[in-house]
Amino acid sequence: MDTVHIFDTTLRDGEQSPGFSMNREEKLRLARQLEQLGVDVIEAGFPIASPGDLEGVRAVAAEIKRCRVAGLARARKEDIDAALRALEPAARPRVHVFLATSDLHLKHKLRITRPEALDQAGRMVGYACQHCEEVEFSAEDASRSDMDFLCQVMEAAAEAGATILNLPDTVGYSTPAEYGEIFRRVRQHLAAYPNVILSSHCHNDLGLAVANSLAAIEAGARQVECTINGIGERAGNASLEEIAVALHVRQSHYHAGTNISLERIYSTSRLLTSITGVSVPPNKAVVGANAFAHEAGIHQDGILKNPLTYEIIIPEKVGVPARRLVLGKHSGRNALRSRLEELGYRTNEAELAECYTLAIARADEAKQVSDRDLLTIIHHVRRANAHAQPSEGPAAAAAC
């Protein structure tokens, strides 16, 4: 089974999204957690952006030893020099050079021609390779680039010494079929460079970032650039936790895995939310509050009999403490009985029926039935039954 290297860009691309900026100490806290999580590369920032960003990258580079630390640089000498300064203390540094390749970006943003872009990519990758043992090149807006020109630029970067070539879907425009085909075409064109690793970097503007990343893996990508909780520019990046869990659950399909310690996923997600103050949506896959919560009675009954009926991975596997059987108006008697037993109350069928009626009525009012509600209900039912017993007469007393 092949290994897909996880390139985490939470500290760079993720931090660029509004409301997610981090100071030096916060970056260090998250970087330590990412190292424990088992990511292969931490992109720590964009050193040329500001003195603070340079120092943040430098701090991460000085402390993180088990995985690579990358610094981003435009295909410009001053950017590369800034990245090199920031990465000086790194045990395993990587300079990540990027240049746009789509005609839209070349004409309207960079205002250079294709030949100029081709020359600039080759020269700047070559310069970075003279000063760093590992260099990655990214063709910004690759998914909207002319295919023949994209292949030329990738070949120039490989010839100049880049060993990782990234084909970003920068604006989340591509579909899985299209994105996979880009990787197949580039791999075919680079037959003379079999050891070059192809990398994907997908944005979620159409909600396809994870699907496109998985399509890239199917087409031969062996590095995926992603973020914790899928944070990033605009609608975000591909979600690290979703990709790692998808490869784990569907190993027989993808024939590839990662070095991620799945049990640390949830704690990493929670650390990021505590640093940024931004929670994930409850329906977020893997780490959302509802990812392992069940309210429908049919689902709850299935989960109680065999969790695999409605869960493709157990919550503990990704570090979630336990699944939740949420009691609401759609819940069934088996879930109610189970929760009452967890609270220390075993019920007979008559008690359960009474509790169920009261619980459903409460759910219609409050949407969910809390443990406090359940305790009130079971105490009410038992008090009512206790008061009713004397009125049943001497025969009932004798039977006791």
The pLDDT tens digits along the chain (400 residues) read 899 999 999 999 999 888 898 999 999 999 999 999 999 999 999 999 999 999 999 999 999 999 999 999 999 999 999 999 999 999 999 999 999 999 999 999 999 999 999 999 999 999 999 999 999 999 999 999 999 999 999 999 999 999 999 999 999 999 999 999 999 999 999 999 999 999 999 999 999 999 999 999 999 999 999 999 999 999 999 999 999 999 999 999 999 999 999 999 999 999 999 999 999 999 999 999 999 988 888 898 898 899 989 999 999 999 998 888 888 888 888 889 988 998 899 999 999 999 999 999 998 888 888 889 999 999 999 998 888 766 544 443 333 2
**Secondary structure of residue 93 in the 3-state scheme:** strand
pTM > 0.85: yes or no: yes
Separation of alpha carbons 129 and 176, rounded Å? 32
Nearest to 10 by CA among 230, 277, 303: 230
Element (H, E) at 387: helix 371-388
Q: Identify the architecture of domain 2-276 in CATH.
A: Alpha-Beta Barrel (3.20)
Tokens 């929760």 belong to: 339
Domain spans of the chain?
Answer: 2-276, 297-389
First to last CA, the chain: 67
**Secondary structure of residue 292 in the 3-state scheme:** coil
Separation of alpha carbons 302 and 311, rounded Å? 10
Separation of alpha carbons 28 and 15, rounded Å? 13
Q: Are 14 and 20 in contact (CB under 8 A)?
A: yes
Separation of alpha carbons 120 and 111, rounded Å? 13
